[in-house]
């Protein structure tokens, strides 16, 4: 049975929660037509979910009675996905599915072969929030502002225990664990110079198989495989 889950990024301590959100108030009152007997679930994107009943809606002000709070620690590897900007629908699809697969952050990158698209960080963050709501995740990944490839390489080298660059000519992916950065290029892949720079910084070059994948497929497949430390 599908749960009604809503994102409210705040602390869930206390008996009642008061929140102001015009859009959510409209959705609860006029779309779902909830009353005080209806139990819904709130999550704050930081690993907590509250079971609540709706006590009052007044204009854009919401008042919930907190019935219980549970915390969840996500299993698997801690993954940041660095992925080339793609055509609008394709990139939004990557954000949605990478959220469902368990990434902690998504960093759009501009590589040599990237077909430059507009940076719509705010919209992408909303898509990540909605994907977390739908999938049952208690963590909402952060969607960062776009970085150049060189800057992304520098940030990743300083931030992760292991960095993986996916390339058709890479080695067969082995079991990996820990805090991991994943790099997925644009259609046409990373340039030889970019691959060389990444390897100079200690990146591991792995393949996702023998076939050429679309960029969005590689991003989702790579994230899903690495998130559980699985072997292809």
pLDDT of res. 231:
47
Full residue range of the structural domain in which residue 180 is found:
78-227
C-alpha torsion angle, residues 159, 164, 167, 171 (rounded to 10): 150
**34: which 2 tokens?**
């909830």
**48: which 2 tokens?**
């907590």
Residue 232 lies in a domain: no
Residue 207 lies in a domain: yes
pLDDT of res. 121:
93
Which residues are bridge partners to 162 per DSSP? 180
List CB contacts of 8: < 8 A, sequence separation 6 or more. 17, 19, 21, 24, 42, 43, 44
Are residues 114 and 90 part of one domain? Answer: yes
CA distance 83 to 110: 8
CATH number at residue 183: 3.40.1280.10
pLDDT of res. 180:
95
Q: How far apart are the first and last CA of the chain?
A: 33
CATH number at residue 47: 2.40.240.20
Are residues 108 and 38 part of one domain? Answer: no
Residue 157 lies in a domain: yes
Q: Each residue's pLDDT tens digit in the chain (232 positions)? A: 457 889 999 999 889 999 999 988 888 888 888 766 788 899 998 888 999 998 888 888 999 999 999 887 776 789 999 999 998 789 999 999 999 998 999 999 999 999 877 779 999 999 999 999 888 888 899 999 999 999 999 999 999 999 999 988 888 887 888 899 999 999 889 999 999 999 999 999 998 888 888 999 999 999 988 887 444 4
């Amino acid at each position: 049975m599908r749960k009604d889950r809503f994102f409210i990024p705040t602390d869930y301590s206390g008996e009642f929660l008061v929140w102001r959100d015009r859009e959510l108030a409209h959705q609860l009152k006029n779309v779902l037509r909830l009353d005080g007997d209806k139990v819904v679930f709130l999550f704050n994107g930081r690993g907590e979910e509250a079971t609540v009943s709706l006590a009052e809606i007044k204009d854009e002000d919401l008042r919930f009675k907190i019935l219980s709070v549970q915390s969840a620690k996500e299993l698997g590897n801690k993954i940041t996905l660095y992925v080339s900007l793609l055509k609008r629908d394709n990139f939004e699809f990557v954000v949605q599915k990478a959220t469902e697969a368990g990434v902690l952050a998504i960093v759009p990158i501009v590589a040599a072969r990237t077909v430059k698209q507009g940076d719509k960080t705010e919209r992408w963050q909303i898509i990540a929030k909605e994907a977390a709501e739908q999938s049952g995740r208690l963590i909402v990944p952060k969607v960062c502002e776009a970085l150049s490839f060189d800057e992304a390489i520098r940030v990743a080298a300083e931030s992760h225990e292991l960095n993986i660059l996916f390339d058709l000519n890479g080695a067969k992916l082995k079991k990996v664990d820990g805090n991991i950065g994943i790099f997925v290029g644009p259609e046409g892949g990373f340039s030889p110079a970019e691959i060389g720079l990444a390897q100079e910084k200690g990146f591991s070059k792995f393949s996702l198989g023998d076939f050429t994948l679309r960029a969005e497929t590689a991003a989702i497949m790579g994230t899903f495989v690495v998130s559980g430390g699985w072997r292809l």
